[in-house]
Amino acid sequence: MKTNTTLIIILVTLLSLAGCKSSISLEDMQKQKSKAMSELTSAKKELIELADMKEKYSLDVRKEQVKTLEKRQKQVNKDIKSVKNVESTSAQKGANTMVDNLKSENDKLSKKISNLNSIKQEDWSSAKDSINQEFSRLEKKIQQLTSNVEVLNKMEVE
């Protein structure tokens, strides 16, 4: 009976020691760390690129709007010239009213163009700085999570 009890104790001890052994190796941790750092770098790059694109997009949209308004303004100026050339006296009164309306529209277009041109270009440099700071913080967290992995691995060997 004593041998059975001793055998059972040894068997339980061996099973519990085998159960404590981690199935994750140092190499697995290093691979996961590398993967996390790589994904973090990729995400950082994508966010910075997005901020750059947003700056360029807002500038391009503004340029396109100005271009469209200038095109419309040219058309209005042509219309003013053609309406002014009306020769009949009966149509002249209506032409004067039309010219006044076209000049008013032209003034509004000029004001819109001026307003668009005076809009300050979007500056996302502070957002980019914030992105860089956040990613540095995340990189430190990854380092913190994995800082004692090699120490733990050496402890298992000894």
Residue spans per domain, the chain: 29-156
Place 114 in a pLDDT band, splitting at 50, 70 and 90.
very high
68-100 burial, b at 16+ Cβ within 10 Å, e below that, comes to ebeeebeebeebbeebeebeeeeeeeebeebbe
What pLDDT score was predicted for residue 8?
Answer: 66
DSSP 148: T
Mean pLDDT of the chain: 82
What digits encode the pLDDT tens for the residues 23-76?
Answer: 777 788 889 989 999 999 999 999 999 999 999 998 999 999 999 999 999 998
What pLDDT score was predicted for residue 96?
Answer: 79
What pLDDT score was predicted for residue 123?
Answer: 85
pTM equals 0.60
Note whether 102 and 83 are within 8 A (CB): yes
Task: Read off the amino acid at residue 86.
Answer: V
CA 156 from chain center: how many Å? 44
- Closest C-alpha among 60, 63, 59, 54 to residue 120: 59
What pLDDT score was predicted for residue 68?
Answer: 94
